[in-house]
Amino acid sequence: MTTTDPVVSVRDLRKSYGSFTALHGVDFDIHRGETFALLGPNGAGKSTTIEILEGYRDRSGGEARVLGVDPQHGRLDWKAKLGIVLQSSGESGNVTVREQLRHFASFYPDPRDVEETIAAVGLEAKAGTLIRKLSGGQRRRVDVALGVIGRPELLFLDEPTTGFDPEARHQFWDLIRSLKAEGTTILLTTHYLDEAAQLGDRAGVIAGGRLVAIGAIDELGGAEARVPIVRWRDADGRHEERTTTPGAVVARLGEPEALEVIRPSLEDVYLGLVSAEGVSTSSTREGGSTRLNGETRLDGAEVSA
Amino acid sequence: MRTLTLGARRTSYEVKTYFRQGDSVFFTFLFPLVMLTIFSVAFSESSFGIDDDGNDVSAATFYLPAMLAAGLLLSGLQNMAIDIAMEKSDGTLKRFGGTPLPVVSYFIGKIGQVLVTGILQAALLIAVAGIVFRVPLPTEPERWATFAWVFLLGVITSAVLGIGLSGLPRSGKSATAVIIPITLVLQFISGVYLPFSNLPEWLQNVANMFPLKWMAQGMRNVFLPDSFEVMEINESWNLAGIVIALAAWLVVGLVLARLTFRWIRKDG
């Protein structure tokens, strides 16, 4: 593959477990150096998608290419280019942080420096501590360190900061930004929309096994979903107006009570997308496709609905 | 080459973590020594036969080969099957599956760990038996040569069978409950706790089909006086039979391991 080929390419990806269909045909590309966030409620198909791309699950239909290789047939040299941070792990942890990182580093052809990696995840003070004696957040940082020790071209992060306190989450974001700066391509799934907004270049929203929206983080859901809302109160009660010219509306109103201008956050946009999918499958199927096409024009990504 | 180097690295990692795990050290590493001590003390007044020079054979002498054989089964099959089942359910194997670690290196590490801990276990058993319980140890090199091949073939067969059986428990939690009864029954019918010659013939024939009986027989050949040979089936140590039985089980184990081992359970 060349440097301009997408690092991840998914076309009509399908997955069924018996009679249950987890993925109904998902399409997206992730380009080199990009951080792509996969968003969606629990059970929407995020983890199924990421595990198919990691080679852990076989797909039922469609196409998937990861670093130019079909992940179902990925060999060791392919795995050497990936970094995988799984959702959770309960390993016995009878080794120290340093021992574990040294050991995993030996699996890879061109690993990162162990001490530097320990420092990057902020565990210098715990380097000689047995992993089982670490807190949940600290263990998660070991997971991340193990995911990046092989200097991956593509890093999978499956809900990496679940259970982190706010400070740890901010430190983690700094770590991911430094990996981005080195050119690492990242596929991130998360429940936290602020995390997607902080780290992601683009995002896809999966609901009910379908990709209902895809695009640059600040354009997700289309322009209409981001039209600001002006709220105020007067003698007649509360009022709300969606407008692309909130300044003009406010100027017209003068000095009403409880004046607010609200720009829908990623969270508002996301909840709008996901609830639309949840309400009625038949109508949102249409709606989803429309939004998807709208997004295609917005960010120029190759998406077929 | 890389597979072997990584296998060596895995071995030292496995040995290190093995000894940091208190329960495995007790239940597999020290267990045969504890049992040898109990039998030696409990039956210290009994005679288990007369040796070639007309002296009584002590309980310690009688049970040393049995405990060496039990050690092979515990360090190999039991420890390995439970350990891998646990690693499967706690996510260790899933993590390895996402790295460029070759499966063969992982196996080399496991077998290497069994080999290292098995050698230490056997050395400890023989040393305690010789020094504390005054068990007369063989001086002929041929006997030690027999010991070496029975040990090696036994420990590798046990380890490979352990890998093959690791897919049997449905979860890490049930691993102990599934595997220990198998090894416990084998120990009782294969002449580890009960003298093999006292068992009814049909039970001896059942035990004949499993590898532990053959390991115990090989160890008896090394450590018991020649006069005990008449108590074996067909009054023979049947060393060729030991090679054939263990080699056959080794092949069974390799096939099982090859067919059943996966880093993770892939669903349809």
Chain B contact for A82, CB < 8 A? yes
pLDDT value of residue A284: 35
What is the value of ipTM here, to two decimals?
Answer: 0.87
Q: Which of B99, B266, B268 sits opposite A107 (nearest CB)?
A: B99
Please answer whether residues A185 and A7 qualify as being in contact, where contact means their C-beta atoms are separated by less than 8 angstroms.
yes
Please compute the mean of the pLDDT values over residues B72-95 and round it to a whole number.
91
Please answer whether residues B120 and B155 qualify as being in contact, where contact means their C-beta atoms are separated by less than 8 angstroms.
no
Share of chain A above pLDDT 90, in %: 45
Contact B21 A82 (CB under 8 A): no
- The C-alpha atoms of residue A127 and residue A35 are separated, in whole angstroms, by 29
Please answer whether residues B67 and B192 qualify as being in contact, where contact means their C-beta atoms are separated by less than 8 angstroms.
yes
Q: Which residues of B touch A109 (CB under 8 A)?
A: 100
Chain B contact for A110, CB < 8 A? no
Please report where in the chains the tokens 């096994």 appear, as a residue. A209
Q: Which residues of B touch A90 (CB under 8 A)?
A: 90-91
- The C-alpha atoms of residue B85 and residue A39 are separated, in whole angstroms, by 33
Highest-confidence segment of A163-177, B51-65, B86-100 = B86-100
CB neighbour list of residue B201: distance below 8 Å, 6 or more residues apart:
none
Q: What's the helix, strand, coil split of chain A in %, to 5?
A: 40, 25, 35
Other beta carbons within 10 angstroms of residue A239's beta carbon come to 13
Please answer whether residues A99 and A128 qualify as being in contact, where contact means their C-beta atoms are separated by less than 8 angstroms.
no
pLDDT tens for A108-125 read 999 999 999 998 888 999
Is residue A291 over pLDDT 80? no
CATH 3.40.50.300 residue ranges in chain A? 8-81+153-223+266-299
Read off the pLDDT band of A278 (50, 70, 90): low
Structural tokens at position B158: 């046990």
Is residue B37 over pLDDT 50? yes
Q: Assign domain A8-81+153-223+266-299 to a CATH class.
A: alpha beta
pTM: 0.84
- The C-alpha atoms of residue A49 and residue A205 are separated, in whole angstroms, by 12
Contact A99 B16 (CB under 8 A): yes
Identify which has the larger pLDDT, A138 or A292.
Answer: A138
Read off the pLDDT band of B151 (50, 70, 90): very high
Is residue A290 over pLDDT 70? no
CA-based nearest distance B233→chain A, Å: 45
Identify which has the larger pLDDT, A39 or B52.
Answer: A39
pLDDT tens for A172-218 read 888 899 889 989 999 999 888 888 888 999 999 998 899 988 988 88
Is residue B79 over pLDDT 80? yes
pLDDT tens for A57-86 read 999 999 999 999 999 999 999 999 999 998
Between the CA of residue A87 and those of A48, A90, A179, A188, what are the distances in Å? 12, 11, 19, 11
Structural tokens at position B11: 């071995």
Chain A contact for B85, CB < 8 A? no
CA-based nearest distance A76→chain B, Å: 5
Cβ burial, residue A195 (10 Å; 0-12/13-18/19+):
buried
Q: Which of A106, A148, A151 to mutate to test the interface with B (most CBs of B within 10 A)?
A: A106
Give the residue on B whose Cα is nearest the Cα of A130. Answer: B20
Contact B266 A84 (CB under 8 A): no
Is residue A295 over pLDDT 60? no
Identify which has the larger pLDDT, A196 or B234.
Answer: A196
Domain ranges of chain B: 2-260
Please compute the mean of the pLDDT values over residues A45-61 and round it to a whole number.
92
pLDDT value of residue A135: 87
- The C-alpha atoms of residue B72 and residue B53 are separated, in whole angstroms, by 30
CB neighbour list of residue A251: distance below 8 Å, 6 or more residues apart:
none
Give the residue on B whose Cα is nearest the Cα of A85. Answer: B95
Read off the pLDDT band of B245 (50, 70, 90): very high
- Interface contacts (A, B; CB < 8 Å): 77
CB neighbour list of residue A12: distance below 8 Å, 6 or more residues apart:
A25, A26, A27, A61, A62, A63
pLDDT value of residue B49: 83
Q: What is the 8-class DSSP label of residue B27?
A: I
pLDDT value of residue A98: 96
- The C-alpha atoms of residue A229 and residue A220 are separated, in whole angstroms, by 17
Closest CA to B152 of B88, B242, B89, B81: B242
Closest CA to B164 of B89, B248, B85: B85
Between the CA of residue A247 and those of A187, A250, A254, what are the distances in Å? 38, 5, 11
Is residue B249 over pLDDT 90? yes
Exposure letters A268-286 (e unless 16+ CB within 10 A, then b): bbbeebbebbeeeeeebee
Between the CA of residue B125 and those of B118, B128, B192, what are the distances in Å? 10, 5, 15
Could you tell me the maximum CA-CA distance found in chain A, to the nearest angstrom?
72
Is residue B84 over pLDDT 70? yes
Chain B contact for A265, CB < 8 A? no
Structural tokens at position A248: 């003009």
Chain B contact for A108, CB < 8 A? yes
Q: What residues of chain B, 91 to 120, have a C-beta less than 8 Å from chain A?
A: 91-92, 94-95, 97-102
Chain B contact for A106, CB < 8 A? yes
Is residue A294 over pLDDT 50? no
The CA radius of gyration of chain B, in Å to the nearest whole number, is: 19
A259-268, B66-75, B185-194: the lowest-pLDDT one: A259-268
Chain A contact for B141, CB < 8 A? no
Other beta carbons within 10 angstroms of residue A235's beta carbon come to 6
Give the residue on A whose Cα is nearest the Cα of B87. Answer: A91
- The C-alpha atoms of residue A101 and residue A106 are separated, in whole angstroms, by 9
Q: What is the 8-class DSSP label of residue A218?
A: G
CA-angle at A73, arms to A71 and A74, nearest 5°: 60
pLDDT value of residue A292: 41
Contact B100 A80 (CB under 8 A): yes
